[in-house]
Amino acid sequence: MKFKCTKGIMNEAINIVLKAIPAKTTMPILECVVIEAYGDEIKLTTNDMSLGIETRLPAEIEEDGTILVKAKMIADIIRKLPDEDIYFEADENENILLFCGKSKFNFPGKSHEEFPMLPEIEKSKKIVISQFTLREMILQTIFSISNNENNKILTGELFEINGDEFKIASLDLHRVSIRKMQLKESYDDIKVVIPGKTLSEVSKILTGGIDDKVQIFFSKNHVLFEMENTVIISRLIEGNFYNINQMLSNDYETKVTVNKKEFLDCIDRATLLLRESENKPVIMNVKNNEIKMEMNTKVGSMDESIRSEKEGKDIRIAFDPKFLIDVLRVIDEEEISMYLFNSKAPCFIRDDNTYNYLILPVNLID
């Protein structure tokens, strides 16, 4: 095996496949990357058994071949090489020689035979979507997945396609986050649950803009994201997701509209009075054209009033400030509207068509 490639491109490619290298593993082979040289390109493959990544880059191949190398080590070496051509050789004993500029590295590789290569996925059901949009939709919902491995289904996100409507949703015990978009064409109905870990890595690899596309293929047990040079394959989480529509409601007694930044900054300040483990809610008094926000903790108290527009009844309601902050941070709009029913019923922060966030209030002992 013998090839030449440029440092910059190799560096970029290896950083993509690093995302499927497990932080801890009892199987050392999973810490390796498979380097395959054939024709006029190199293919890098990593696989942590639930997430696998393959990426291709152009190279001048002098001799075909495949080798396995510790991924973290070769990534570190390549990052620090001068910006010149990399000459890479592996002999029949899996010894690797790497030249770049005036430096020469020599280290052992491994046979690739035992590496679990990525499964073949049936490519019948798919959708096409902009990379930018998918990344945004993931980042706008992923904060409310659960970390509790005992209820596996909640550690993932629902991907649901109905005709030309695409929806991503996640939920934990206190809240539901939903983002929706209109697809350019209609597709077969799909409803799968994708691990949060996969989506977090996918969002980092999706660096493309609005016009760069990603194809998403769905099979019985896997999902496959295909971009220009990179393929990401992940297992799905088995089981049925909760019926989210049942949790939603369009009824309300009070609708309050506020400037998002003012509201977020105020809640942020209120949390300053919380010491480590303290778990005090922020209280909202919605009255006429202002919300009076209150926070009372062991350390001290804060109150602040915020301009708002109200429709319907006055209301006093309390929330875990973290849940409000999580939602407000991912909404791009300048103004947001909250729909409230009573102090014990969920609050909905939603617009007409693209987002709907449900947050349960905290009981106030009056």
Site residues, its own copies (CB under 8 A): 73, 76-77, 80-82, 96, 101-108, 265-266, 268-269, 272-273, 299-306
Q: Which is nearer to its own copies, 83 or 238 (CB)?
A: 83
Task: Please identify, using beta-carbon distances, which residue of 204 and 275 lies nearer to its own copies.
Answer: 275
CA 294/CA 340 separation, integer angstroms: 18
Which H/E stretch holds residue 104? strand 103-108
3-state secondary structure of 100: strand
CB 336 within 8 A of CB 328: yes
| Whether 42 contacts 62, CB under 8 Å | no
The distance of closest approach from Cβ of residue 22 to its own copies in the complex, given in angstroms and rounded to an integer, is: 18
- Specify the residue, 56 or 110, whose C-beta has the smaller distance to its own copies: 110
Distance from C-alpha of 34 to C-alpha of 19, rounded to nearest angstrom: 14
Tell me which amino acid residue 118 is.
L
DSSP category for residue 234: E
Tell me how far apart the alpha carbons of residues 59 and 9 are, in angstroms, rounded to a whole number.
Answer: 10
Task: Using the minimum distance from each CB to its own copies, give the nearer residue, 61 or 75.
Answer: 75
Task: Compare residues 51 and 256 and give the one whose CB is closer to its own copies.
Answer: 256
How far apart are CB 307 and its own copies at their closest, in Å? 9
How far is it, in rounded angstroms, from Cα 292 to Cα 318?
A: 12
3-state helix, strand, coil in the chain (%, to 5): 25, 45, 30
* Residue located via tokens 């040079």: 229
- The Cα–Cα gap between 29 and 70 comes to 8
> How many CB atoms within 10 Å of residue 92?
7
CB-wise, 28 or 209, nearer to its own copies? Answer: 28
CB of residue 319 to its own copies, shortest distance in Å: 18
Q: Least distance from C-beta 168 to its own copies, angstroms?
A: 31
- The token duo for 100 is 């770049």
Instruction: Give the H or E element holding residue 131.
Output: helix 131-139
Closer of 103 and 151 to its own copies (Cβ): 103
Please state the φ and ψ torsions of residue 245, each to the nearest 5 degrees. Answer: -60, -30
Q: What is the CA radius of gyration of the chain?
A: 25
In the bound state with its own copies, the residue whose beta carbon lies nearer, of 81 and 233, is 81
For its own copies, the closer of residues 62 and 268 by Cβ is 268
Shortest Å distance, C-beta 24 to its own copies: 15
Query: In this structure, what token pair is assigned to residue 250?
Result: 């369009």
Phi-psi region of 312 (alpha: psi -120 to 50; beta: other; left: phi over 0): left
Report helix, strand or coil for 199: helix
- Which residue bears the tokens 């480590």? 276
Give min distance, CB of 297 to its own copies, in A: 9
Cβ of residue 113: shortest distance to its own copies, in angstroms? 22
- Quote the least distance from Cβ 259 to its own copies, whole Å: 12
Q: Which residues contact 113 (CB under 8 A, 6 or more apart)?
A: none
Provide, rounded to whole angstroms, the least separation between the CB of residue 284 and its own copies.
14
Least distance CB 306 / its own copies (angstroms): 7
Give the nearer residue to its own copies in terms of CB position, either 41 or 268: 268
